Structure 1
Amino acid sequence: MSRKKLQRFKENEKNRNVVQQGKEIFEKIKGNWNCVQFLNSNPIVVELACGRGEFTVGLARQYPEKNFIGVDIKGARIWKGSTVAIAEGLENVAFLRTQIQVLDKFFEKGEISELWITFPDPFPRDGDEKRRLTSPRFLDMYKPLIKEDGIVHFKTDNTGLFDYTLDVVKQREDCEVILHTHDFYASPWKDEHHGIKTKYEKLFSEKGEKIKYLKFQFKPIDKDGDQK
């Protein structure tokens, strides 16, 4: 392991906005993000596979009235977003270092207001479907963590993954598509993301790849436990 990476790991241990194994907060953060980490009652927005945190930090700049959490297993990547947020005094940013497969160990039912899935690994082989972050397996995990009127955002350059995800969402009785486009930057909604781009989005866009975007939500449950 390089000296630079080791130094970044040490800084993650000190940075208050990084929640990771070995810190006391790691074991008690579930259901307590507002009162323990952010010290406010603002809505929580989570980005999965956040990488260097460009999107998490970018959104936090635009929406100081919300709290943003980037989730990734790569500590060296999280370090970048963490240090940028600290340098800019963004107290509404945090990073959770963990596998996304165990996300439900760190968020209580209804604790998340919005979920962003940005440029995940497409896992194109049929045998890897369960590893896709938009597969039924993962959607079933996200659903109880997102509050009743919460929103899920999905962005990718990969047409196969996008079409797969759109089909999965449309086929579920508990999901409702709000909007979708195969060319986000030619759509009426392009300004809603304030020009914020991840490293990979910039790379794909420069290569001429069209960015796909899907916005959906899980349908509310009525008093009898049925979908409304």
Structure 2
Amino acid sequence: MGKDKLRKFAEIATFKNVVQLDAGKAYKGKWSSAFFGNNKPLILELACGKGEYTVNLAQLFPETNFIGIDYKGNRIWRGAKTALEEGIDNVGFLRIQIETILEYFEENEVSEIWITFPDPQPQDSREKKRLTNPTFLNRYKIILKEGGIMHLKTDNDGFYNYTLEQIQQQSLPVLKETTDLYKSDLVDQVLSIKTYYEKKYLAVDKNINYVEWKF
């Protein structure tokens, strides 16, 4: 691991808005009350990377709590540091493997989940790693409140089509859907938030897929 990554890993250990690994289990079922000190709704961003979506959503919706989840601490560092520097106190970050999410969140604890530009895991042998495969969807269903909303933004058409297939197979209601977000009429203040990777894709005129559904 490079010196810069080591520095960031060491630094996030001192951030009050970052919880790592097993330490997060103590907040299961009480993230809003014990971590944020309130009773506001809770929204997650999975595979949050540098945390751009998490931080921007928190700025737009101060009456909601947001947690960005990723395993790579050197990426989380950026979003966590920005939130601290700008005094955004309704955002936190959790460093865990997403497949262990049921160990950290209680049934019906989460209002919405965002998945923004995850690794599409295109190889057939890695289907179990895709964040919208049936196993993951069943985990999300447990921690989401009744009628909880899911969002996916991705540049990968194959992963997007795979996700639509899983949604259809589970007969889940699709609320919004487009294969070219910025040429659709769906873009609003929320969907126009752009991550580091999204900006790179848009620079080469790559279409952005988006779907919103619920359980």
RMSD: 1.2
Percent identity of the aligned residues? 47
Task: Tell me what 2:19 maps to.
Answer: 19
Tell me the SS of whatever aligns to 2:120: coil
Bigger-Rg structure (1/2)? 1
Unaligned runs of 5+ in 1: 219-228
Q: Is the Cα contact below 8 Å between 2:176 and 2:213 reproduced in 1?
A: yes
Q: Distance in 1 between matches of 2:21 and 2:132?
A: 26
Per-residue deviation, 1:6: 2.1
Per-residue deviation, 1:179: 1.4
The structure-2 alpha-carbon separation of the partners of 1:188 and 1:97, relative to structure 1 and needing over 3 Å to count, comes to same
Per-residue deviation, 1:149: 2.1
Q: Distance in 2 between matches of 1:83 and 1:164?
A: 34
Task: Tell me what 1:223 maps to.
Answer: none
Per-residue deviation, 1:192: 4.1
Q: Distance in 2 between matches of 1:26 and 1:159?
A: 34
Q: Distance in 1 between matches of 2:160 and 2:85?
A: 35
What's the TM-score, normalizing by structure 1?
0.91
Tell me which amino acid in the other structure corresponds to 1:204: Y
Q: Distance in 2 between matches of 1:92 and 1:186?
A: 32
Task: Tell me what 2:63 maps to.
Answer: 65
User: Comparing 90-99 with 1-10, which one deviates more in the overlay?
Assistant: 1-10
Per-residue deviation, 1:13: 1.1
Q: Distance in 2 between matches of 1:66 and 1:217?
A: 19
Per-residue deviation, 1:202: 0.6
1:138 aligns with one of 124, 136, 139:
136
What's the TM-score, normalizing by structure 2?
0.96
Tell me which amino acid in the other structure corresponds to 2:14: K
For these two proteins, the number of residue pairs brought into alignment is 215
What's the CA shift string for 1:178-207, capped at 9, x where partnerless?
Answer: 110001111111114263111111111111
Q: Distance in 2 between matches of 1:116 and 1:85?
A: 18
Per-residue deviation, 1:115: 0.2
What's the CA shift string for 1:94-125, capped at 9, x where partnerless?
Answer: 00000001011110001110100111111112
Q: Distance in 1 between matches of 2:168 and 2:154?
A: 18
